[in-house]
Structure 1
């Protein structure tokens, strides 16, 4: 059993290059602020893991595990590793840390998710991010590869079930509204008129295919750090602070699935199946089964899901089981995904409202699950949240990781 002691998230509205920060500066800030937030010393950390997708491309820097040694002398000699799984890099880093703890190698791990993305022009950022697709083989005619890929997903839903743009914009409106409650959200001070959530070419211009500006998650600089502990270490931590062990959230279940790199291969393989992405559905169910909760949504109080585009969340809604396949629109129209709804989705604002520093997103989701289940989410707290599920996707669902977190 692995406990989540807490952590820290940077301000996703920050632009590190404009502030004169390098990747190492942001890394050191995250670890230092995280240690302070959780009341730990550097000497307490026994292993370090980094989730990052493309630091070589954006910052010219690889081997990020070595950044721990720049933070504090106590980290000199710390065993570290970096993990890459595109947008699921942070979650894969968490998986590696939990495996070490479960194996009995270490009792306390620090996981840092980090990505710098705003230090290059938009077209260059799009090209860098495109390396998570099947490079040289798919979407070669697209200027912006991922908006095109998830435009194709919207087309696939339309072909199989029918899809109305107003439902995608319903997702965007919820995530932007939630982001306004989050003090670390990139879009917390953004304001839009009603026409911004329509197919108005001026207020909501087309990016690629069916994907418009308001459909997109944000290009973001950001870090998130979480500290994970074994049951014995968590008990000692609780005893030292006079708190109950059962008040500390833990990772109750996990799911991890992969699929072929090619988007077309995935969709073709699911032609005769109810779900567009069967491996996403399986990762969700694996996490619930390992957590010992029902396979439906009855055991979940909130979800932090991947909404790199509105079409991604539209897919997630039915794959989570909130509706039958192809009927995500029903949950949107009923207000089920909004704060106060049947299953609030992305109370933080998600990738659209909060921002999407690629390698940090999985760690940020886990941190937000910890905040919700420990009652520390502030203005975006879901009342009575005891169990939260995350759903983090890399590439065109090439890697999917889901955690169930609760007390």
Structure 2
């Protein structure tokens, strides 16, 4: 026995077995923790499985509503024509209301053969999650749900009110979605102290960029009327294309003198020119121009229309002007950014978890935040990295999705359970804004 007694051997074996059992229990704990942290992936998998191409929700919101009810949310469905809208709320203290805004609709996936994987089945591959809508923006909805699920499980019903607002009409015309939700809430005299929008705002890594506003947009159609004639006798005609060229040049020469801090300049882009049926030897009598203006809050819709009208009338009075698809600009941060309490809370949480300060941006197209800005003191957009949105093989990383959930958890914990924290100045100011 090499000098070991039978009792000694028994003791050594027993100790070894105890060590193995302890390691096994520890390993099981790690597995359970990893499984818990990936709950957000499971929820995202359920959401992307719904082929909810604008505006057909195909039951996505109904499924989510059932999950929300288990947490204690009150549910109201607001269908408008073929659009599905969901308004859900939890909490009893209306002295402070906070919201999360999102959309369950996605853009078409295109040909499934162009994708590496089935676009409507979440596929995990090399640390990435592939599916249509995983970034824009069902991943953010999953992150929000899991964050609130964890908070309610741990701390109970929120001390403040929380609202979830979802539509299936964000990627389309946006006429019957968040716009209608905002109208409904306004009729109910419901307003928010702060709304977080789950749009994919991040550029290179999660939370590197916060959207604090958006430029407005307005589309124009100008129908110019000239006089047709033979191309050999231009003096007897008025070429509508030449007229259009002069007007286009004049509009493109506008310097848009009004500026707004933290916004890209106001811009005008022509999108279509049409002189009707082409005939090689006829001077066209008609020409239609289409263009879009993206503008800062320094301008309003009336100013833009008058400026365009004045420019056209320097060249002709024989025209018709119409506008469409108006999108109001919004900016929900004070000139002194540090004084914005909602921004301070979000930035502080990002800094606490990620150890950096996010860039503030108003770049990009319009978002549904413009509708909620009418009934929310502050609106910020925080979501996943937008590199692959609307593309073939849209994807995010598992770690990014989990990080977003953790950020939402921290932000809403501060907002909904203030007695769990020492009040920061930013939190006090946010509640005083009502």
TM > 0.5 fold call: no
Structure 1 or 2, whichever has the larger Rg, is 2
Q: TM-score, normalised by structure 1?
A: 0.30
Q: TM-score, normalised by structure 2?
A: 0.29
Higher helix share: 1
